[in-house]
């Protein structure tokens, strides 16, 4: 097989392929074997009729159309791999010679990914909250942990948010009792907003013995009219938190001291903040890279990204046992409306991808063998195989897939190149070191101060 590629207008190329008659004979043999399984001839079992008999009975052209239909896509795909043609849409194939006999020639006109150039990719800026845990954040986590071990104690003062109120509640709608809104000795935390906001508003400032009667908006927007409530407040209790000392640390955790427990809490907060910051950084940089692309984006690229997002959504739903039709009904959209809603983020993703390819080209960024091995290791982990098993089962006879892995590794390295050069500041304008966002950063603990100890 011989092939050439010629650039055309509008991000298209023409792939021309020539196959000599001798090479095509193999495909004709395969087509005749296929016919032999489909055609019944007297004196021959299915699949056993020789080619010469089939040609005599059906004619020499019987299998050629079948062979062309099966083989041309294979020849085209090989030519695309041989010439590294980055196709983004199905080809238009035109047989220029050999449709009847002899050598085969065909042209395939196909749309390819455009090459863009951008500037300013090395001057991006991002604003992120500081990845270091604050004293207030640590205190909140400590108090949440203490609250899990807190005890309720009656109070005579009016109820405030966070108090636990024991009450008899009666709810009605249009004069009829509402099941689920009529309960005796119901324990409720003021301020949680678990039923309707009017309940929390009425309970704030109430005391044991108070009777509260009021109306509330129905939480179902499809229902007209008001809910009617009558509440008898029986008891108001506050949560008494245990002292944050070594004894508490031993009871509430695997640590022996509050310093160790506080250090663990601080580290957990830092890791969570770093993960959020990295996600925000990636989003901001992606958006800014997309803005640098001023070229028109082929619809085929956007369509492909929309379909990718739909497939990803369907797989995620399937893993949860949810059918796509059930999901569409829940969100009140048709399949067409969902696809349309995905077009804008798909367009941005397509622009970001083109921008990263432009950066890689401008900066001569290539994936190393180590980068490819890392990419393969991550893929192998996803499918529960070793790298060697993955190579032998998936990539052994598919050069295009291995090229795809190398491209993914190249794009990962390019993203890292861009991220390393982003100017990162906090909302106050203070610089944030990129290294402080690394998941394995050791700077999990804030400096030990008198303030941080008084929690």
Domains of the chain: 2-111 (3.30.70.1050), 152-240 (3.10.50.40), 251-437 (1.10.3120.10)
SS3 state at 251:
helix
Q: Of 213, 194, 203, 199, nearest to 158 (Cα)?
A: 203
Percent of the residues in the chain that have a pLDDT greater than 90, as a whole number = 69
Q: How confident is the model at residue 386 (pLDDT cuts 50, 70, 90)?
A: confident
For 239, the enclosing helix (H) or strand (E) is strand 226-240
Q: In angstroms, how far apart are the furthest CA atoms of the chain? A: 106
Contacts of 213 (CB under 8 A, 6+ apart): 228, 229, 230, 231
Q: Is 222 exposed, middle or buried (0-12, 13-18, 19+ CB in 10 A)?
A: exposed
Q: What is the pLDDT of residues 92-103, one digit of tens each?
A: 999 999 888 889
* pLDDT score for 418: 96
Cβ–Cβ < 8 Å for 442, 263: no
Q: Which of 31-40, 93-102, 139-148, 305-314 has the lowest mean pLDDT?
A: 31-40
Q: What is the mean pLDDT of residues 78-82?
A: 92
Q: Which of 55-59, 116-120, 240-244 has the lowest mean pLDDT?
A: 55-59
Q: Where are the alpha helices (DSSP H) in 293-398?
A: 299-319, 324-331, 335-341, 343-362, 369-383, 387-390
Q: What is the pLDDT of residues 21-61, one digit of tens each?
A: 988 888 877 776 776 666 665 556 565 556 655 565 566 66
Q: Mean pLDDT in the chain?
A: 88
CB < 8 Å & 24+ apart, contacts of 208-215: 208/154, 208/156, 208/233, 208/234, 208/235, 208/236, 209/233
Hunting for tokens 């309940």 — which residue is that? Answer: 199
Q: Which residues pair with 240 in a beta bridge?
A: 151
Cβ–Cβ < 8 Å for 411, 360: yes
Would you say residue 67 has pLDDT above 90? no
Q: Measured between alpha carbons, how far is 421 from 24 in angstroms, rounded to an integer?
A: 53
CB atoms within 10 A of CB 328: 14
Q: Measured between alpha carbons, how far is 113 from 354 in angstroms, rounded to an integer?
A: 8
Would you say residue 72 has pLDDT above 60? yes
Q: How confident is the model at residue 194 (pLDDT cuts 50, 70, 90)?
A: confident
Q: Measured between alpha carbons, how far is 381 from 53 in angstroms, rounded to an integer?
A: 52
Q: How confident is the model at residue 398 (pLDDT cuts 50, 70, 90)?
A: low
* pLDDT score for 43: 53
Would you say residue 163 has pLDDT above 80? yes
Would you say residue 443 has pLDDT above 60? no
Q: How confident is the model at residue 447 (pLDDT cuts 50, 70, 90)?
A: very low
* pLDDT score for 44: 62
* pLDDT score for 18: 96
Q: What is the pLDDT of residues 259-281, one digit of tens each?
A: 999 999 999 999 999 999 999 99
Q: Measured between alpha carbons, how far is 306 from 345 in angstroms, rounded to an integer?
A: 9
* pLDDT score for 383: 79
Would you say residue 164 has pLDDT above 90? yes
* pLDDT score for 205: 96
Contacts of 36 (CB under 8 A, 6+ apart): 44, 46, 47, 48, 49, 51, 54
């Amino acid at each position: 097989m011989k092939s050439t590629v010629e650039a055309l207008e509008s991000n298209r190329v023409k792939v021309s392929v020539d196959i000599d008659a001798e090479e095509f004979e193999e495909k004709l043999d395969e087509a005749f074997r296929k016919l032999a399984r489909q055609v019944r001839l007297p004196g021959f079992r299915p699949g056993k009729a020789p080619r010469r008999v089939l040609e005599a009975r059906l004619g020499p052209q019987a299998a050629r159309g079948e062979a062309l239909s099966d083989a041309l896509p294979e020849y085209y795909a090989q030519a695309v791999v041989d010439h590294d043609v980055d196709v983004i849409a199905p080809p238009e194939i035109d047989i220029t010679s050999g449709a009847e006999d002899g050598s085969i020639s065909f042209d395939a006109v196909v749309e390819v990914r455009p090459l863009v150039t951008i500037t300013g990719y090395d001057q991006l800026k991002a604003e992120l909250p500081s990845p270091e845990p604050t004293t207030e954040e640590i205190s909140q986590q400590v108090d949440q942990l203490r609250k899990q071990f807190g005890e309720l104690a009656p109070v005579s003062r009016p109820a405030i948010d966070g108090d636990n109120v024991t009450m008899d509640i009666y709810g009605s709608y249009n004069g009829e009792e509402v099941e689920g809104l009529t309960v005796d000795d119901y324990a409720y935390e003021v301020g949680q907003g678990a039923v309707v906001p009017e309940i929390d508003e009425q309970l704030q400032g109430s005391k044991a013995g108070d009777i509260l009667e009021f109306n509330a908006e129905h939480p179902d927007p499809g229902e007209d009219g008001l809910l009617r409530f009558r509440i008898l407040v029986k008891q108001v209790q506050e949560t008494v938190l245990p002292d944050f000392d070594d004894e508490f640390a031993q009871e509430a955790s695997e640590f022996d001291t509050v310093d160790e427990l506080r250090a663990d809490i601080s580290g957990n907060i830092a890791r969570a903040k770093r993960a959020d910051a990295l996600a925000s950084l990636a989003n901001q940089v992606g958006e800014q890279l997309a803005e640098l692309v001023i070229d028109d984006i082929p619809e085929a690229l956007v369509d492909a990204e929309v379909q990718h997002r739909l497939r990803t959504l369907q797989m995620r739903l399937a893993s949860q046992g949810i059918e796509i039709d059930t999901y569409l009904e829940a969100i009140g959209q048709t399949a067409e409306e969902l696809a349309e809603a995905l077009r804008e983020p798909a367009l941005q993703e397509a622009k970001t991808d083109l921008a990263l390819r432009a950066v890689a080209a401008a900066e001569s960024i290539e994936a190393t063998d180590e980068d490819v091995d890392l990419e393969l290791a991550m893929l192998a982990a996803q499918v529960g195989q070793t790298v060697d098993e993955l190579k032998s089962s998936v990539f052994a006879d598919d050069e295009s897939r291995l090229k795809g892995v190398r491209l993914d590794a190249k794009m990962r390295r390019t993203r890292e190149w861009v991220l390393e050069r982003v100017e990162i500041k906090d909302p106050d304008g203070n610089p944030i070191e990129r290294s402080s966002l690394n998941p394995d950063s050791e700077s999990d603990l804030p400096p030990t101060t008198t303030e941080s100890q008084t929690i």
